């Protein structure tokens, strides 16, 4: 029964993203005021530094949405002088991937859940998921799947809005913005208020940074780096697959 409920919840989330796909990029840029670009650049640059290789066979971006993070992987690899063989986007939302394909036809895509990535084991150097892990209902199973797909010593890169159980003054300001302002802005642009009311609710129901780190360790990852940005709005976690 519990598995059925999880499946129904996941299906509802995917349907929601299908509905807002056409306006997703516009809403995202307005709500973040473009600052998410700096977070994405930081994630890519640090991952390349930690990996310390001149060439990379494959980068997989799970919950790739409209493809922005994939483009950051490409552009930042060029800045760093790193050759990347293939960049693959994975997302269960057909609507979001349709937008991504139109924006970035040079990348490869799979319509698939985070728990069922259609790639061979140990075939990816990096696996990223940006603002998508909280939308994965079966998160533990997904982290195990990430481990399967990554090469030994491969990196998982997570950018996410994490739950803060003891917010500072700045954190409370953030929470006010996320709960009161952001849903109205996103709802106005997308004409789908329910979808953008989901965002603060999903953060409130999500993991703390510490719990996320522990879940990664349980899935056989070593956490290398954790940093929160912009009043703790966004948190970056980079972890390495442990050889067994």
Domain 2-241: top CATH class: alpha beta
Phi/psi for 75 (5° steps) reads -65, -40
91 is in an annotated binding site: yes
pTM for the full predicted model: 0.85
Report the C-alpha gap between 15 and 239 in whole angstroms.
Answer: 30
Enumerate helices (H) and strands (E) in the chain, giving the number of each.
Answer: 9, 7
Query: Within its chain, how far is the Cα of 204 from the centroid?
Result: 17
Report the C-alpha gap between 199 and 24 in whole angstroms.
Answer: 13
- What is the band of 55 on the pLDDT scale with cuts at 50, 70, 90? very high
User: Which pLDDT tens digit goes with each residue over 56-106?
Assistant: 999 999 999 889 999 999 999 999 999 999 999 999 999 889 999 999 999
- Reply yes or no on whether the pLDDT at 162 is more than 70: yes
Who has greater pLDDT, 90 or 21? 90
CB 112 within 8 A of CB 138: no
Query: Which has the closest alpha carbon to 68: 92, 36, 93, 95?
Result: 36
E strand or H helix that includes residue 109: strand 108-111
Query: Which has the closest alpha carbon to 148: 176, 174, 121, 170?
Result: 121
Phi/psi for 132 (5° steps) reads -135, -20
Please give the pLDDT value at position 134. 84
- What is the band of 36 on the pLDDT scale with cuts at 50, 70, 90? confident
CB 203 within 8 A of CB 161: yes
- What is the band of 204 on the pLDDT scale with cuts at 50, 70, 90? low
Please give the pLDDT value at position 147. 98
18 is in an annotated binding site: no
Report the C-alpha gap between 66 and 93 in whole angstroms.
Answer: 10
Report the C-alpha gap between 86 and 227 in whole angstroms.
Answer: 28
Mean pLDDT computed over 194-213: 69
């Amino acid at each position: 029964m519990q598995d059925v409920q999880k499946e129904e919840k996941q299906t509802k989330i995917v349907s929601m993203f299908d509905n807002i796909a056409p306006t997703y990029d516009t809403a995202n840029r307005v709500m973040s005021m473009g600052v998410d670009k700096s977070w994405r650049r930081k994630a890519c640059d640090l991952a390349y530094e930690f990996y310390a290789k001149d060439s990379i066979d494959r980068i997989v971006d799970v919950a790739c949405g409209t493809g922005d993070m994939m483009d950051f992987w490409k552009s930042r690899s060029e800045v760093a002088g790193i050759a990347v063989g293939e960049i693959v986007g994975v997302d269960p939302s057909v609507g979001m991937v349709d937008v991504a394909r139109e924006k970035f036809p040079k990348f490869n895509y799979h319509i698939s859940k985070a728990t069922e990535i259609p790639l061979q084991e140990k075939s990816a150097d990096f696996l990223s998921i940006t603002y998508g892990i909280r939308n994965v209902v079966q998160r533990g199973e997904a982290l195990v799947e990430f481990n399967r797909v990554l090469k030994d010593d491969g990196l998982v890169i997570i950018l996410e809005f994490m739950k803060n159980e003891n917010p500072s003054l700045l954190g409370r300001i953030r929470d006010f913005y996320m709960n009161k302002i952001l849903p109205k802005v996103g709802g106005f642009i997308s004409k789908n208020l329910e979808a953008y009311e989901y965002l603060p609710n999903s953060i409130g129901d999500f993991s703390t940074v510490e719990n996320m780190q522990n879940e990664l360790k349980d899935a056989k990852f070593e956490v290398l780096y954790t940093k929160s940005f912009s009043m703790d709005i966004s948190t970056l976690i980079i972890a390495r697959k442990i050889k067994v």
